[in-house]
Amino acid sequence: MPNRRVVITGIGPVTPIGTGAEAFWEGLRAARSRVRRITRFDPAPFRSQMAAEVDGFDATQWIEPRRAKRLDRCSQFTLAAATLALRDAGLELEKEDPDRVGAMMGTALGGVAFAESEHEKYLAGGLRAVEPGLALTVFVGAASCNLAIELGITGPNITNGMSCASGAIAIGEAFRAVQRGEADVMLGGGAEAPLSPLSFGAFAIIRAMSTRNDDPATASRPFDRHRDGFVMAEGAAVLVLEERERARARGATIYAEVVGYALTNDAHHMTAPRPDGKQAARAMRSALSGAEVPGEAVGYINAHGSSTPLNDSTETLAIRQVLNGHAERVLVSGTKGYYGHALGASGAIEAAICALAAKRGWLPPSVNLNEADPACDLDYIRGQGKELEPEYLLSNSFGFGGINAALLFRSPNS
């Protein structure tokens, strides 16, 4: 079985802090939250009334207007992010063998929010009022299949729905497809458009979200003593992953090398993490051991850091189990303070952060971390970030159902 080296050559973010790699990077450097009171619907009935929205998104900038009209917002995000990633990679798919190019996507809710709006039409006007494409929108595989149809790529294709780890899993599986020789180029990422009353309200009912409605910009605060829940967001990110030698041969910009990926399950609870952090730790440890990288080589961790009381302290515990004494020295940030939690897209957005950080030598801070929780006692980056070029960067993504995904990246300058 081939064991080829895999690199990231294109980044396509569609996020509340910026769309496109450069705007996204500028948003990170600004170190400000984009969380605010929800504008997409009236949030007054809910305990939590804020979110991070993608402002001014116009799908027709990247998708032919008639095609865009037939897609829901989640699929629009998917195609826009993929188009941006391919442009960033300088990759012309018409020159590629379509059988050797594939797509892996992740989404927690997919087209559920769109289905919710269509149900309202059904109640008001019957079945004839409903969008004919509804069945194809709520189809879980819509994200990656829409990419295949739009781009004419016939290689490996999966959309997973593994909650908040979906985007990271998609990138990990894309990495494996190239590593094993099943494809030469893979698009990997996540997309989420969950901001509708029922979808939002479902998370409000279980009291998982922050209620800091009087100051939304400070509501998402990973690892802070006063965190009280996550902040929902929308967005997407798609990465272009290629076999390293072909990327070098065509003169592509290499952001980072993907060297490790692992997946475990807590088998404990649908919403609460396993208290001992054992399986989250095993995911990190397995990503490192699979790449034959010692824990002390890791210079930066982009934590899942959801800003929920249990997740952040458990993740801290898991990191300590993996890195032992090195845990005192590794730099950590939870970047959801910038852009909230885009559920299945978050892992892909954070993988994009790691790739950009690896290339450009700057690590983002944990926005809104003002007073550390004693149970969260690692070296979290604060303020305006840190200029540093770590050789290895680790990204964690954990989700409902006890899923734990870890991705390991290597700097292109190493």
Residues 213, 64 within the same domain: yes
pLDDT on residue 133: 86
The span from the CA of 410 to the CA of 414, in Å, is 7
The span from the CA of 94 to the CA of 83, in Å, is 14
Nearest to 188 by CA among 340, 8, 61, 25: 8
Exposed e or buried b per residue across 150-170, where buried means at least 16 C-beta atoms within 10 angstroms of its C-beta: bbebebbbbbbbbbbbbbbbb
Domains: count for the chain: 2
The pLDDT tens digits of the residues spanning 202-219 come to 999 999 999 999 999 999
The pLDDT tens digits of the residues spanning 185-198 come to 999 999 999 999 99
CB 395 within 8 A of CB 409: yes
pLDDT on residue 286: 98
Residues 274, 231 within the same domain: no
pLDDT on residue 178: 98
Which residue ranges of the chain lie beneath pLDDT 70?
A: 1-2
- Active-site hit among 74, 341, 354, 376: 341
Asked if residue 276 is part of any domain, the answer here is yes
- Mean of pLDDT over the chain: 96
Show which of 225, 249, 273 is a domain's final residue.
Answer: 249
The pLDDT tens digits of the residues spanning 389-409 come to 999 999 999 999 999 999 999
To the query of whether residue 354 is one of the catalytic residues in this protein, the response is: no
CB 242 within 8 A of CB 7: yes
Residues 56, 157 within the same domain: yes
The pLDDT tens digits of the residues spanning 46-71 come to 999 999 999 999 999 999 999 999 99
Domain range for 114 is 6-249
Asked if residue 343 is part of any domain, the answer here is yes
- Active-site hit among 145, 164, 354, 376: 164
Residues 57, 189 within the same domain: yes
Residues 222, 298 within the same domain: no
Residues 49, 145 within the same domain: yes
Residues 277, 188 within the same domain: no
Amino acid at 175: F
Residues 218, 78 within the same domain: yes
Asked if residue 108 is part of any domain, the answer here is yes
Residues 232, 381 within the same domain: no
pLDDT on residue 80: 98
pLDDT on residue 414: 80
To the question of pTM greater than 0.85 for the whole model, the response is: yes
To the query of whether residue 304 is one of the catalytic residues in this protein, the response is: yes
Residues 155, 270 within the same domain: no
Residues 266, 203 within the same domain: no
To the query of whether residue 164 is one of the catalytic residues in this protein, the response is: yes
**CATH number, domain with residue 401:** 3.40.47.10
Q: Is 412 exposed, middle or buried (0-12, 13-18, 19+ CB in 10 A)?
A: middle
Show which of 230, 249, 268 is a domain's final residue.
Answer: 249
Asked if residue 1 is part of any domain, the answer here is no
- Active-site hit among 304, 326, 354, 376: 304
